[in-house]
Amino acid sequence: MSRINSGGVSTRNPFGPSWGSSVRTGKGEPASVGEQVQQNLFGKKKPPLVDSDDADIAAQMARLHAFRKRLARLAGDAEDDYDLVLAEGTIAMIDDKGLIYVGRRFLLDHMDHLDVLVGVLAHEIGHRPRRWNEYKAEAPRSKEEAEKLCRLEETRADYFAGKALAELKLQVEPLIAFLTAVQVQPHPEYFSAALRAEVLREGFTDGRRRANNRKKFFPELDRMRGAGGDLGTG
């Protein structure tokens, strides 16, 4: 991400895929809307990988791996649909294979902010890139239509992040504060930080309601299946 003079971050998406302009991957024009959106959402250049040779970073990555498994289950996916690697020059981003690049500097700066770390990870998993295979039968869309579809996907990822934080008994406001701090100016191709904050809060409210109802009416199911207990499905 590039810095701007005010000390904030440029109007590029602060975390997650960057879909404001079509990204080509060397495979020519997309053959379907699924490939088109995968290129825009997940096709940008991958950040350089780095070794987790620091004990604190290794511990943080191990902790995030545990949450990765919980979040995958919450999304309805298999745990091994996603993996994590440490990288430079990014906050976090996911590729079309489910590999999540976690920024080393981001991890160090937020070691004590679990809500932010897990919230950003939840946003990435909320993109569920393997699901885009559903669109392979559809013809490519116009630039405007593709951008609208990508905005919908960003909203889905934000909603899932809020919902997952509630299920995991974490808080959403630290993630909103982080998003607001780094996305200092709205961009015409992205929803504003204020609107994304409302989506995150709606997802969080939904997740908290579902978790409370499950605990109240189905306590045994909550104990067995609740993401907070990390018991999964068996």
- 20-66 pLDDT tens trace: 344 444 455 666 665 666 666 655 678 889 887 789 899 999 999 99
Q: Give me 178's structure tokens.
A: 């982080």
- Write the pLDDT tens digit of every residue in 167-206: 999 999 999 999 999 876 655 456 888 899 999 999 999 9
Helices (H), the chain: 33-42, 55-75, 104-109, 114-126, 143-167, 173-182, 193-217, 219-225
Please count the other Cβ atoms lying within 10 Å of the Cβ belonging to residue 226.
Answer: 20
Q: What is the pTM of this model?
A: 0.78
Mean pLDDT of 67-95: 94
- Write the pLDDT tens digit of every residue in 136-149: 556 656 777 777 77
Residue 96 is predicted with a pLDDT of: 83
Mean pLDDT, the chain, as a whole number?
78
Going from N- to C-terminal start, the domains of the chain cover: 33-229
Using pLDDT thresholds of 50, 70 and 90, give the confidence band for residue 227. Answer: low
